[in-house]
Structure 1
Amino acid sequence: MKIDYLQALKRVDDARGAWVLHGQEPLLEQNLMDAFRASWQKQEIERQRYDISSVSDWKTVFNALNSLSLFSTQLAVEVHGNIKPDAAGLKLLKSFLQHNEQNLLLIVMPKQDSSSLKTSFFQTIDANGVNVALTANYPRDRQQILAIEADKLGIKLANDAWAWLEQHHEHNLLAAKNSLMRVSDTFAEVDVIEIEHLYACLQDQSRYSTYDLSDALLAGNLAQSIKIFQYLMASGEPLSLILWSISKEMRLLMQLFEQPQNALQLGIWKTKVSQYQQALRRLSPQTFLAWPSLLIRIDASIKGLGHENAEHLVQQAIASMCGKSLFH
């Protein structure tokens, strides 16, 4: 079954079987993942996460799905990566879909091209699972998505203000959401946000986004990366979204190190392959080994677990991606 982002949001609590989320809209992915995790916590469903770096990892995933812990009746397995199951993995997927009605396999992938969407893996998902394209190709879709974000913030926009907001951000949903957060703080007493409110609030902004942070990290520019990070924090960017961007780039670099010939298959845009290759030449395998545990520490600190400062840890991750260290 194929559904869109808004339909997926309504089905989160009842999600079972196999779901695939794919696209290049970080706001949509983060919102859905937050909704899933909140639902699992509310329903007391055990959650496990796996990152796929080779085809053989799928066997571990399906073994996990078929073996609950003593204290769980349901399991949600969250899988991240861009490597699809091979023939043996597909057989395990079909068996899971036929016999395991309570558990959920949630697969999160980058944007897929048309040929990838025609593979046996996606055909199996379309026929027996749920295929969610994280896209918003039309102005009406983007406005509907952002209207939900505005509603969360308790603000309303005039019709022409929506058009101005979209034009200002060139269809970048994440940047548009940040602007909604900024205007809601600046004009908290205004009933309906007009163009002049948006203009007054946004005209002097540098308009950095997490995409700019990714570019600076890949270039190894520590000073610019820290500057963008500080700007994003000051403008109300959720730390969880900044972590999402950093972990995505770390994951791609680690996968490219293991599979240097498979840049396009990993979801790296053709025009950016050279940037990733340049970053790899700057970094060492020992650096990669430290990243998974650092990401876990950041995630835990954002959720209020432990005693470490999340912002300081993120700055450590930024420095590490730039090939430098904050401490000697």
Structure 2
Amino acid sequence: MKLDYLQALKRVDEARGAWVLHGQEPLLEQNLVDAFRASWQKQEIERQRYDISSASDWKTVFNALNSLSLFSSQLAIEVHGNIKPDANGLKELKSYLQHNEQNLLLIVMPKQDAGSLKTAFFQVMDANGVSVALTASYAKDRQQILMAEAQKLGIQLANDAWKWLEQHHEHNLLAAKNSLMRVSDTFSEVDVIQIDHLYSCLQDQSRYTAYDLNDAMLQGNLAQSIKIFQYLLASGEPASLILWSVSKDMRLLMALFEQPQNALQLGIWKTKISLYQQALRRLNPNAFLSWPALLLRIDASIKGLGHENAEHLIMQAIAQMCGKRLFPPA
């Protein structure tokens, strides 16, 4: 079964079997994954996360799905990566979908090209699971998504203000959401936000974006990267979205190291391929081994599940992306 983003949001609580989310809209991915995690916590469903770096990693995933802990009656497995199950993995997937009706396998992948969407994996998911394309190709869809974000913030926009907001951010939903957060804080007493409110609030707030941070990290410019990171925090950018941006590039670099000829298939924009290739030449691949664990620590600290400082950990991740140490060795 295929669902769009808004349809998927309505079915989170009842989700079972296997779901795959794929696309290049960070706001949609973050919202859906957060909705799933909140639902699992509410239902007291045990959650595990795995990052796929090779086809053999899928064996660990299916082993986990078929073995509950003593304290759990249901399990949610969250998988991140762009490597699909091989022939043996597809057999395991089909068996799981036929016999396990209580657990959930949530697979989060980057944007897929037309050829990838026709592979056996997606055919199985379309027929027996749920496939969600994280896209918003039409203006009415983008406005509907942003209207839901505005409703969460308790604000309303005039009709022409919506058009101005989308044009200002060139259809970038994540940047538009951040602007809604700023205008909500600045004009909390205004009943209906007009273009003038947006303009006065945003004209001085567009110095850096998360994309600037990505470019600075890929170029190995640690000083600029930290400067942009601190600006984003001061501008109200949620730490969870900064983490999403950092982790996306970390995973793309690890995947590109394993598949150097498949940059486009991995979801890297054509204009950015040279940046990623330069970063790979600069970085020591051995450093990649510690990245998944660091990302998990950051994720836990943002959610208040640990005692570490999330901002300090994100700066460590930024430094590692730049191929440098944040602090000199003792």
Q: Which amino acid aligns with 2:308?
A: E
1:326 aligns with 2:326: yes
Count how many residue pairs are aligned between Structure 1 and Structure 2.
Answer: 328
Give the corresponding residue for 1:87: 87
Q: Quick check: 11-20 or 264-273, which moved more?
A: 264-273
**Superposed CA offset, 1:80-131 (max 9, x none):** 1111111111111111111110011111000111111111111111111111
Q: What SS does the aligned partner of 1:301 have?
A: helix
**1:83/1:266 contact within 8 Å kept:** no
Q: Residues of 1 paired with 2:215 and 2:287: CA distance?
A: 19
Q: Which amino acid aligns with 1:19?
A: W
Q: Which amino acid aligns with 1:192?
A: V
Q: What SS does the aligned partner of 2:21 have?
A: strand
Q: Which amino acid aligns with 2:171?
A: H
Where does 1:27-66 land on structure 2 (aligned, <5 Å)?
27-66=27-66
Give the corresponding residue for 2:212: 212
Give the corresponding residue for 2:245: 245
**2:51/2:292 contact within 8 Å kept:** no
Q: Quick check: 42-51 or 255-264, which moved more?
A: 255-264
Where does 1:283-322 land on structure 2 (aligned, <5 Å)?
283-322=283-322
Q: Residues of 1 paired with 2:154 and 2:269: CA distance?
A: 37
* Structure 2 gaps, min length 5: none
**Superposed CA offset, 1:127-179 (max 9, x none):** 11111000001111001000011011110000000000000000000000000
How far 1:306 moved relative to its partner?
A: 2.8
Give the corresponding residue for 2:190: 190
Q: Residues of 2 paired with 1:286 and 1:128: CA distance?
A: 39
Q: Quick check: 293-302 or 244-253, which moved more?
A: 293-302
How far 1:207 moved relative to its partner?
A: 4.6
Residue identity (%): 85
**1:80/1:109 contact within 8 Å kept:** yes
Give the corresponding residue for 1:168: 168
Q: What SS does the aligned partner of 1:189 have?
A: coil
TM-score, normalisation: structure 2:
0.96
Where does 1:2-41 land on structure 2 (aligned, <5 Å)?
2-41=2-41
Q: Quick check: 117-126 or 167-176, which moved more?
A: 117-126
1:263 aligns with 2:260: no
Q: Which amino acid aligns with 1:198?
A: L
**Superposed CA offset, 1:191-230 (max 9, x none):** 0000000011011223522222111111111122112211
Q: Which amino acid aligns with 1:46?
A: E
Q: What SS does the aligned partner of 1:193 have?
A: coil
**1:79/1:107 contact within 8 Å kept:** yes
**2:213/2:229 contact within 8 Å kept:** yes
Give the corresponding residue for 1:231: 231
Q: Residues of 1 paired with 2:207 and 2:83: CA distance?
A: 34
Q: What SS does the aligned partner of 1:13 have?
A: coil
Q: Which amino acid aligns with 1:178?
A: N
**1:316/1:326 contact within 8 Å kept:** yes
Give the corresponding residue for 2:178: 178
How far 1:273 moved relative to its partner?
A: 1.9
Alignment RMSD (CA, Å): 1.2
Q: What SS does the aligned partner of 2:307 have?
A: coil
Give the corresponding residue for 1:203: 203
**2:22/2:110 contact within 8 Å kept:** yes
**2:113/2:265 contact within 8 Å kept:** no
Q: Residues of 2 paired with 1:206 and 1:27: CA distance?
A: 18
Q: Which amino acid aligns with 2:188?
A: A
Where does 1:21-170 land on structure 2 (aligned, <5 Å)?
21-170=21-170
Q: What SS does the aligned partner of 1:191 have?
A: coil
**2:161/2:193 contact within 8 Å kept:** yes
Give the corresponding residue for 2:279: 279
How far 1:79 moved relative to its partner?
A: 0.7
Q: Residues of 1 paired with 2:105 and 2:68: CA distance?
A: 13
Q: Which amino acid aligns with 1:50?
A: Y
